[in-house]
Structure 1
Amino acid sequence: MSAAAPEGQLSGSRSKAVYALLLGLGVLDAAGYSLIAPVLPTLADRTGAGATVMGMLVATFPLGMVAGFAVGGFAVQRSALGRVILGGLLLIAVGCLGFVFGSDLAVFAVARLVMGVGSGCLWLGVTFATLAAWPGQEYLCMSRVFAAYSAGGLLGPLLGAIQGVRGPFLAYLFLILLAGVPVLALRLPARAGAFTSDRRAMRSRGFWAASAGIAFAVLALGTLEGVLPLHFATRLSQSQIGVLYAATSVLVAVAAALAARLRPRRALLASTVFVVVGFTAAGAGTSVPVWIGALAVAGVGIGMANTGSVGVLLDAVPPRRIVTAMVLWSQIGILGYLVAPVLGGPVADSHGYAAVAVIVAVTALAVPLALGRRNPR
């Protein structure tokens, strides 16, 4: 990937090093999302909590991210991007300590909330550093950033496959602290001062179509990580769930990268079919082979939806006026990660896991409706 990295405002070896760092930070940030998935059954066993309570625990992370996006959006226009990224890493590290030393659900919930705030800041730091460094190639670069975030879904479950609760978060804490070293050593683009806010962008059809797309993609991810692990735990161990999710993330990453070859609208529209089919089979299935095939299909759809939605956003909003639109788009998207476990947990408890796919299917309907009319721009 580095050989094809764009050269924009940076050049030579520094360009490649910065690009590799940003992609690596994306992998590490996304690992914090999926880290919790294999650990959920263990947490449920230790606390005696069901799918509803576990869903609420998972939801504290995206709730924190909503706040983190607001903080990060303010910071990227007023502070060095390296500081924004370091602040995000520090908050994630503090949250990890809650799982390492905590022992009850209240502590875990607060810790997960703090991790979410840090993740929101880190996402915007990585995004605007990418946009600032390689102007004119935003869609290509952001498709690779999304591929890196999807690859983080591979690292997270592998860390989560470590037995127990403390072990996975202790390993993640080590990696977070390690990541701070190159952030300090490499000179990132100073700040995103060239980017401005334009609230008029949020009145465009393209912005709301992109928002519907990212909300759908992230709701699917939240359902996958925040609800279905308890279904899979009926036949799989914590380590096996981690491996299953890691394999799925490979397909998400590949699909996210390859989707850049398609027109954003087409990629986004096609993603709804893959996701709905995959989740329907996963929820209704009761055997491991069915789950493997179902998650493979769903993973391809999630990757396509991620890339397609950011492409629709970049088509609708000029990158140099994208700050407010990017913050709100990110907040709308992560609300999907919040809604998925909050709704999916009670639905699973009351009607079974097959019914959880209905939530994903209903959300999918919003995507073609939003894409029905092209942005006038």
Structure 2
Amino acid sequence: MGAGAGQAERAPMRSTALYALLLTLGALDAAGYSLIAPVLPGLAAQTGADATAMGLLVAMFPLGMVAGFALGGVVVRRGGSVRLLLMGLLLVAAGSLGFVFGADLTALAVSRLVMGLGSGCLWLGITFATLAAWPGQEYLCMSRIYAAYSAGGLLGPLLGAVHGVRGPFVAYLTLVVLAVVPVATLRLPSVAGAFSADWRAVRSPGFLVAAASIAFAVMALGTLEGVLPLHFGSRLRQSQIGVLYAATSVLVVVVGAVAARWQPRKVMLASTVPVAVGFAVAGAGSAVPVWIAALAVAGAGIGLANTGATGILLDAVPAQRIVTAMVLWSQIGILGYLIAPLFGGPAADAFGYGAVAAMIALGAAALAVMLAQPRRA
């Protein structure tokens, strides 16, 4: 009786500890996305690169993530969640070392690609460990995972505010290495056979809406982190950009967590207005108070979009058949992060930052039309 009661008490404790570790890993992973934002003006000055070249550098990260998602899907189906998490951390650490010791733009681009590959592995490892550990609570738990990623968006700019180009990556590398120990000792139930691949799921109307939603959400994030810092660098120092982005991330976290209470499609539709308006004001404005207000509005919209897109996917595809859908959904989403700096940099060089905001507005309008269509069973 006593032994059984002790085991029953330890099970929730283990569950809480696992959830805390997954949330921490999510925040650490997301910090690798946003870490580069305050550093971009310094990197541009160090290498003599323009906005187009900096956009290409930022685009290396999502390009690596696409490959990481594909690799992660294979490992997950074989039940290797812990192996996938370790693989992701080690790859992220290797890419961070490249920024510590690299100097030319080519070396930095390769390093950013490796960091993205590791990030893709981490995302799928965290996601499938969460889905396996808390069946029936997928939307609630994943909305909290997204909130942790948004919190990482707070941590990243704070690390990026560390003086110099190499300093932020040294700080981030230290945190990644510290995370290896608890992950290496982690014992998770095998997820082999718990999730299956099903290509039929990705042909459903619900999946198409979910894919468009996550592409829009991540494109907005990619524009925020990969293009606009160069605009803000005209009036703000590296540390000030870091603080501004950290404050924006607080709104993303809070709004994203609260949005889990509402119906996902309505949340997603509601996100399009603040995202479009916030970026339009940020791109057209040149005063710091205007930028602060604009990012507050855009940050709230991104928080809504993150949660809404996840909920639409989980509504459309049963968790047991979600491997193919989750991998493809993640790849489509991260293409938005790739497209934002890849096209946003040249657009900013040629037409100014108002043109970047126009790209976001077009995406918001197209998504709103799709979401307004009657939902088909």
> TM over 0.5: same fold?
yes
Within 5 A, what are the aligned runs for 1:1-377?
A: 11-377=11-377
Looking at structure 2, the residues matched to 192 and 213 of structure 1 have their Cα atoms a distance apart, in angstroms, of 29
Per-residue deviation, 1:182: 1.1
Partner secondary structure for residue 191 of structure 2: coil
Does the aligned pair in 2 maintain the 1:82–1:190 contact within 8 Å? no
Cα deviation 1:160-179 (Å, max 9, x = unaligned): 00111111111111101101
Does the aligned pair in 2 maintain the 1:128–1:192 contact within 8 Å? no
Find the counterpart in structure 1 of residue 5 from structure 2: none
Does the aligned pair in 2 maintain the 1:146–1:306 contact within 8 Å? yes
Looking at structure 2, the residues matched to 85 and 374 of structure 1 have their Cα atoms a distance apart, in angstroms, of 40
Looking at structure 2, the residues matched to 260 and 217 of structure 1 have their Cα atoms a distance apart, in angstroms, of 16
Partner secondary structure for residue 38 of structure 2: helix
Does the aligned pair in 2 maintain the 1:206–1:374 contact within 8 Å? no
Gaps of 5+ in 2: 1-9
Per-residue deviation, 1:57: 0.3
Partner secondary structure for residue 163 of structure 2: coil
Partner secondary structure for residue 103 of structure 1: coil
Q: CA RMSD in A?
A: 1.1
Looking at structure 1, the residues matched to 136 and 365 of structure 2 have their Cα atoms a distance apart, in angstroms, of 32
Deviates more, 1:227-236 or 1:10-19: 10-19
Per-residue deviation, 1:374: 4.6
TM-score after normalising by structure 1: 0.96
Per-residue deviation, 1:192: 4.8
Per-residue deviation, 1:318: 0.6
AA partner of residue 269 (structure 1)? L
AA partner of residue 75 (structure 1)? V
Q: What percent identity do the matched residue pairs reach?
A: 71
Cα deviation 1:237-259 (Å, max 9, x = unaligned): 00000000000001001111011
Per-residue deviation, 1:303: 0.8
AA partner of residue 274 (structure 1)? P
Find the counterpart in structure 2 of residue 5 from structure 1: none
Per-residue deviation, 1:369: 2.8
Cα deviation 1:270-301 (Å, max 9, x = unaligned): 00001001000100111111111100100010
AA partner of residue 18 (structure 2)? V
Aligned residues: 368
Cα deviation 1:209-263 (Å, max 9, x = unaligned): 0111100000000000000001001110000000000000010011110110110
Looking at structure 2, the residues matched to 131 and 362 of structure 1 have their Cα atoms a distance apart, in angstroms, of 34
Cα deviation 1:88-145 (Å, max 9, x = unaligned): 0000000001001101000000000000000000000000000000000000000000
Partner secondary structure for residue 261 of structure 1: coil
Looking at structure 1, the residues matched to 350 and 340 of structure 2 have their Cα atoms a distance apart, in angstroms, of 15
Gaps of 5+ in 1: 1-9
Find the counterpart in structure 2 of residue 6 from structure 1: none
Looking at structure 1, the residues matched to 22 and 326 of structure 2 have their Cα atoms a distance apart, in angstroms, of 18
Per-residue deviation, 1:362: 1.1
Deviates more, 1:10-19 or 1:337-346: 10-19
Looking at structure 2, the residues matched to 352 and 373 of structure 1 have their Cα atoms a distance apart, in angstroms, of 34
Partner secondary structure for residue 164 of structure 2: coil
Cα deviation 1:139-162 (Å, max 9, x = unaligned): 000000000000000000001001
Per-residue deviation, 1:184: 1.9
Does the aligned pair in 2 maintain the 1:98–1:111 contact within 8 Å? yes
Q: Which runs of 4+ in 1 moved over 6 A?
A: none
TM-score after normalising by structure 2: 0.96
